[in-house]
Chains A and B, each alone.
Chain A
Amino acid sequence: MTTNTKTTSLRIRRSTVGSVVRYVILTAVGIFLAYPLFWMLGSAFKYNADIFGNINILPPVDRWTFANFPIAWQLSRSNTMLFYYINTLRFLIPSIIFTVISCTITAYAVARFNFPGKKIVFTAIIVTLLMPGIAFTIPIFILFTNLGLVNTFAALYIQDIFAVNSFFIFMVIQFLRTVPRELDEASYIDGCSPLQTLWYILAPVLRPVVITVALLSFIWGMNAFQGPLIFLNTPERRVLAVAMRGLMQDEMAVQFGAVFAAATMALLPTLAIFFGCSKFFVESVASSGAKE
């Protein structure tokens, strides 16, 4: 127990009871939250009948199967999961790089400078946060068609060059507010240009939020389904999320165990990266709520 040593025994007992209660609550909530993940993992070893029949995490003792993983790995007749994973990365990596750069620069400009129209820019960023994406689908597709982008991976990341993700801009702005201005001012006085300041002085400080933006882009990009489906229509450019939906839609009897095995394998890299970066992640998400 971490209470200070001067406390009376009564107090210690009360605080012990308190923290036991807290652990119980935390664990209960944790089970509730983590259950789906474990259910998915366990179901990767089940036959269909055991998936629909019950809600247990593990299959019955005598009904384990490992056949789902090879099926899931060979995601389609012609390609393995790795192929689709690489396809996903072919748009996701440029997308992440562009998002990070463009959103950081935009946020830096808005957060640290005074210029005419700044209020309007900030309002525009907020307003675009409110817009449902469905309003944009067809006009943007026609625009991309005219640019010759249909059936190219570029169609999925070209917008990111132009800092269209207001949520990330907002996140970086909020984080920048926690960084003392004296840092950049000192840098200007030393003769650095704004971009130099951003690169040499602020970038190291911004590391948590940059990692978070990259991580969230990655997570959302891995799950993205509609964009890849609409913009990429040849089999050699199919991405993981679309291929997995194909597995579920298979008109043959769907092997749900294989769907879960595929979902598990697709998720593992994401989870590994997430746990690796969780320190930065927690820090910068937390800062996005910093008051104005």
Chain B
Amino acid sequence: MALQKAKATKATKTKSKIKKRMVMAPLMMLIPWFLGMAFFRVYPIFLSFWYSLTNFPLLGERTFIGLDNFRQIFLNDTTFHASAIATLRYVFFGTPMVLAAALFIAFVLNFKLKGVNIFRTAYYVPSILGGNVAVSILWVQMFRNNGLINSAINNFNNATPEFANIPIVFWLTSETWAPFTLMLLSAWQFGSVMLIFLAALQNVSPSLYEAASIDGAKGWRQFRSITLPIITPVVLFNAVNVLLRHFQEFNSAFLVTSGGPNQSTLFFSLYIYDMAFQRLQMGYASALTWISLAAIGVFTLILFFSSKYWVHYND
């Protein structure tokens, strides 16, 4: 945005003509976008707001009930509370996890190593596989109680009984661990986040590092005191991205845990889907949609405002 001010050109004669065109042309070019916005976004979202004020059994009579849905959601709906906790936990713990994993790999990749390009591309493959049916089967195979990971732990414990006794974990059937397993699944698809970090790291001027190494800063300290501050704007960008993705997460919970156990992975979008297409309460589902919209908005804004304190802009 900062760069938007067009610089005056030297050719004064054509200037006014160009200027006029510069106002009309973009508006013309935005006509399709504007139409799409109106019909496919604004209209449905306002319709959904209207639905949220009604009792609307899908295919049945719609009756206006004011804010009853919202009252019910906030005061009486224990499933909503469980769902809010599940979603927020996933957002608060999952987002830093994905960011940390992506940043770490970007950090490792940001050196002149042979074959880096191959790794860089290969690391994107899980993100392509993302919605594939095969992935959900695989994750269940890995994380079920007698699955790969627990078997490996068990074998390790049996092989070295004298000093190792790693506890076995119910990855998918314990309330504590199931959300974590889904966070892992999300972290596994860090592809684009990592690429964006990597680009930012590559833009850090080498002269800064040279200055730092004269001062004796190395490794982790150098990363903390020099690299990290410089890339904070990119951290913010990625944080917003991942936050949004996590708030709207649906697939993993739907395919791998079905929202369980005991609603520990019943994310908002899954609850909304259930309400709309399983329990057929469109009005209630619409109210939930608006609450989730508001929550997303609030958290994004908080992130933006907090950025004042931790994001460093040089220019």
Contact = CB atoms under 8 A, between A and B. Distances in A.
In-complex A–B contact (CB below 8 Å): yes
Interface of A: 2, 19, 22-23, 25-26, 29-30, 32-34, 36-37, 39-40, 43, 51-52, 55, 102, 105-106, 108-110, 112-116, 118, 121-122, 124, 127-132, 134-140, 143, 159, 161-164, 169, 177, 181, 185, 188-189, 193-195, 219-220, 223, 225, 244-245, 248, 256, 259-260, 263, 267, 270-271, 274-275, 278, 281-282, 285-292
B122 A22 contact: no
B199 A289 contact: yes
B159 interface: no
Interface in B175-211: 188, 192, 195-200
A289 B135 contact: no
Nearest to B46: A139
Contacts of B292: 132
A162 B29 CA distance: 11
A136 B123 contact: no
Interface stretch (B36-44, B63-71, B75-83, B220-228): B36-44
B47 interface: yes
Interface of B (DSSP majority class)? helix
Nearest to A33: B126
A224 to B, nearest CB: 8
A288 B151 CA distance: 41
Contacts of A169: 33
A114 B248 contact: no
A267 B130 CA distance: 11
B289 A135 contact: yes
Nearest to A215: B128
A26 B109 contact: yes
Interface in B114-135: 119-126, 128-135
A271 B132 CA distance: 13
Interface string B228-271: 00000110011000001000101000000000000000001100
B32 A105 contact: yes
A139 B47 contact: yes
Contacts of A113: 22-23, 25-26
